[in-house]
Amino acid sequence: MTDSKLIESIRVVPDFPVKGIQFFDVTTLFKNPEAYKEVLDRICAIYKDKGITKVAGIESRGFISGAAIADRLGAGFVPVRKPGKLPADTISESYAKEYGTDTIEMHADAIGPEDVVLIHDDILATGGTAMAAIRLARQLNPKKIYVNFIIDITDVPRSAPLPENVEVSAVLHLSER
C-alpha cells in the first residue's frame, strides 16, 4: 500500500480539540484493515531486530497499535496513562502541548534495566507527550529507548527537540497546512 493510500485513510478534523488545530484522526485508518495492517507491518519491520522487550503505548490511540506491535515483536505492553488510571504505584511526568498542559503516568515497575523499550503513539506534533514518555522511561533505567509514531506532523514547532540519542521513526510525514 502506498503512502498516499494510507494518507487517504486518515480523517482530518479542523479546529479539534480547539480552534486552529488540524487533528489527524487515525481511527479511520484503524478501521481500514488493509491500512492498519500496512502500518503495523511497516513499524514491525523497523524494530524486528532491535531486541524490543517492552512497547510503551501512550493513551489512548497509542494503546491500539502499541499492543498489536508488542504482540508481533514478542514484547510486553506497558500502558502510559492519564493520572489516576493505573492501579499500582506510578511515576509521572507533566508536559506542555499545543493547547495546554497534561500529565502522564506509568507503573513504577513497568520497565527494568534489562529492557529495550519502544515508546509508541499515533502522532508527533510538538513533541511534549513524547518527551514526557521518554523521561518516564528513563526514570526506570532501560538499556535503550526507541520512539515511533504513525504520523510526524513536520511543520509544527517542537516544544523541545527529541534527544539525539533516541532513535525516532514515523510511518508518515505530513504537513498540518
Per-position DSSP letters for 9-35, written without gaps between them: TSEEEET-SSTT-EEEETHHHHTSHHH
Question: With pLDDT > 90 as the criterion, what percentage of the chain qualifies?
Answer: 84
Spot the catalytic one: 61, 81, 93, 105: 61
Report percent pLDDT > 70 for the chain: 98
Give buried/exposed letters for 106-122 (b at 16+ CB in 10 A, else e): bbeebbeeebbbbbbbb
Return the higher-pLDDT residue of 12 and 160. 12
Give the residue-averaged pLDDT of 151-157: 92
Binning pLDDT at 50, 70 and 90, where does residue 37 land? very high
> What is the identity of the amino acid at 79?
P
Question: Quick one: average pLDDT of 66-77?
Answer: 98
Lookup: cell for 66: 502499541
Query: With 90 as the cut, is the pLDDT of residue 31 above it?
Result: yes
**81 catalytic per annotation:** no
The model's pTM: 0.95
Partners of 81 in the β-ladder = 105
What is the predicted pLDDT for the residue at 62?
Answer: 95
- Supply the pLDDT for residue 92: 97
- What's the rounded Cα separation, in Å, for the pair 162 and 101? 18
4/33 Cα distance (integer angstroms): 16
Kindly report which listed range (45-49, 117-121, 126-130, 150-154) carries the lowest average pLDDT score. Answer: 126-130
Does the domain at 51-174 match CATH 3.40.640.10? Answer given as: no
- pLDDT attached to residue 79: 98
Active-site position among 8, 59, 72, 98: 98
Q: Is the pLDDT assigned to residue 99 strictly greater than 70?
A: no
Model confidence band, residue 21 (pLDDT cutoffs 50, 70, 90) = confident
Task: Select from 10, 147, 137, 163 the least CA-distant residue to 66.
Answer: 147
- Nearest-angstrom CA–CA distance, 41 and 155: 26
Mean predicted confidence (pLDDT) in 27-52: 98
CA gap 40, 68 in Å, rounded? 8
Write the DSSP symbol of residue 109.
T
Please confirm, yes or no, whether 61 is among the known catalytic residues. yes
- Looking up cell 529507548 gives 145
**Residue 158: DSSP 8-state:** P
Q: Which is nearest to 114 in space by CA: 75, 147, 148, 81?
A: 75
Report the 10 Å Cβ neighbour count for 83. Answer: 12
Look up cell 515508546; give the residue: 119
Residue ranges of domains in the chain? 51-174
